[in-house]
A and B are shown apart, each in its own frame.
Chain A
Amino acid sequence: SQQGEEDPQALSIQEGENATMNCSYKTSINNLQWYRQNSGRGLVHLILIRSNEREKHSGRLRVTLDTSKKSSSLLITASRAADTASYFCATDEGTSGSRLTFGEGTQLTVNP
């Protein structure tokens, strides 16, 4: 498996439910970032969590980081149809500027 691998690959839920996406990585990191991409569009930055942080919140988003397990999770609470998108985790290993290594993404579908 590759650095920044998301799980599940696809997730379908009803509006109002919570969505949890997981990301695993292999090497040590400076930080881990989550992005959202709507179909055919650019990436929108959601949250950056540094290696010395364990949890971060932003609105309906909650990100956790467990460096001992080399994993992170993104929780979206009270989901909305507008949350339908692909979600990517990306790791910054600190080896080359702010170069990021992306996973393959989780496709989230929120049904109205």
Chain B
Amino acid sequence: NAGVMQNPRHLVRRRGQEARLRCSPMKGHSHVYWYRQLPEEGLKFMVYLQKENIIDESGMPKERFSAEFPKEGPSILRIQQVVRGDSAAYFCASSPAGTNTEAFFGQGTRLTVV
């Protein structure tokens, strides 16, 4: 049973380009969470999705950021028109149930905006 898979591991984008980050949850997990980690800081929650539904996006910036978790395929975190401040590590986690269960994290995608 493979763990949470994120790709790419490293992503470099120029200012104004789009960044697409992918996350495949663990087998059997239908709940996905995205977090962002700035250097020397803890993780900050961005969005919580179940298959085809956004449940909680209270941590997502209102503009340029979007997330989806289609019926088939990985969850996608999309950042449009990236700026230098978007440079961070983005982690995805998945859980088998909605509440009170362990969340398993991927290795993260390190986004660098140049």
Contact = CB atoms under 8 A, between A and B. Distances in A.
Interface of A: 4, 30-31, 33, 35, 40-45, 48, 50, 88, 90, 92, 94, 96-105
A98 B103 contact: yes
Contacts, number: 76
B56 to A, nearest CB: 4
Interface stretch (B13-21, B62-70, B76-84, B105-113): B105-113
Range for the number of chain B residues in contact with chain A:
20 to 34
Interface class of chain B by DSSP: strand
B109 to A, nearest CB: 10
B42 A4 contact: yes
B105 to A, nearest CB: 4
Question: Would you list the 9 A-B pairs with minimal beta carbon distance, nearest first?
Answer: A102-B42, A42-B107, A43-B105, A96-B56, A98-B95, A102-B43, A104-B42, A97-B98, A30-B100
Contacts of A45: 102-105
Given A33-B103, A42-B105, 4 more contacts: A30-B99, A42-B108, A98-B93, A104-B42
